[in-house]
Amino acid sequence: MADAWERLRNHAHANANLPYTGLATGLRAYSGAFVNLFPASKKHAPQQLIASRPLDVRDVRDAVVLWEQAVLGVPDDKITFNYSSELAELVAGSTVEEVSLAGHVHRFGNQPDAPNWVYDAATWEAARRLEATSWQVDGGEVVLRTDTDGNLLVWDPKALWSDAWKKNGELQYAALRVRLSMQTMPNLRTPVLVLDPSVARLSRGLYGTRTDG
């Protein structure tokens, strides 16, 4: 499969990494599962597609077919599901294995060690569980939703912050966003989940975008 990735990179004249994140994001948005590719660097093509639950192989194939055409610069109106892709067939035909995350965590002394995809998958599971719980805050109920990056957002209009931000300006909105990451800490035998809350302003328009019309 490494050869197929390399041929695509050569055809795309990619001097940097191929946009693997775009493929993973597309699969996340379409399937509702959390998906990542490992590794994802210029020197090391992806060897694993990690998902939080089984994916339909037809969806995987279609996603790679569309993504490959976009990478090669095929015009939008020419992109088709009938495109012949060696890479799509290889990825969709790969062996699927269900694994235990705990079985891939090892220890060196008192420190845990595991591949990066293990930490990602554990973070996804934590996000899923937090999403399933409503939180009582200041007498109200706050529900968190996961985004395609596995982070948490407050999306209920009643729980958004609103203000004009500028004097006599339009009413604007902002939402709580909680970034999740599973990390190792000194002298702790198990990884810990780190929550990093922030506020994200919600744009009222698609600034900086262009159209051909």
Q: Using the predicted structure, report yes or no on whether residue 213 has a pLDDT greater than 50.
A: no
Q: What is the pLDDT of residue 55?
A: 92
3-state secondary structure labels for all residues of 143-174: EEEECCCCCEEECCHHHCEEECCCCCCCCEEE
Band (pLDDT 50/70/90 cuts) for residue 211 is very low
- pTM given for the model: 0.75
Q: What is the pLDDT of residue 65?
A: 95
Q: What is the pLDDT of residue 16?
A: 64
Q: What is the mean pLDDT of residues 12-40?
A: 82
Band (pLDDT 50/70/90 cuts) for residue 34 is confident
Q: What is the DSSP letter of 203?
A: P
Give the model confidence (pLDDT) of 154-198 as tens digits: 988 888 888 887 777 788 888 889 999 998 888 888 888 999 999
Name every residue whose Cβ is closer than 8 Å to that of residue 169 and which is 6 or more positions away in sequence: none
Domain layout of the chain by residue ranges: 2-92, 108-202
Helices (H), the chain: 2-11, 20-31, 57-71, 86-92, 116-131
User: Which long-range contacts (C-beta less than 8 Å, at least 24 apart) are formed by 16-19?
Assistant: 16/42, 17/41, 17/42, 18/71, 19/67, 19/71
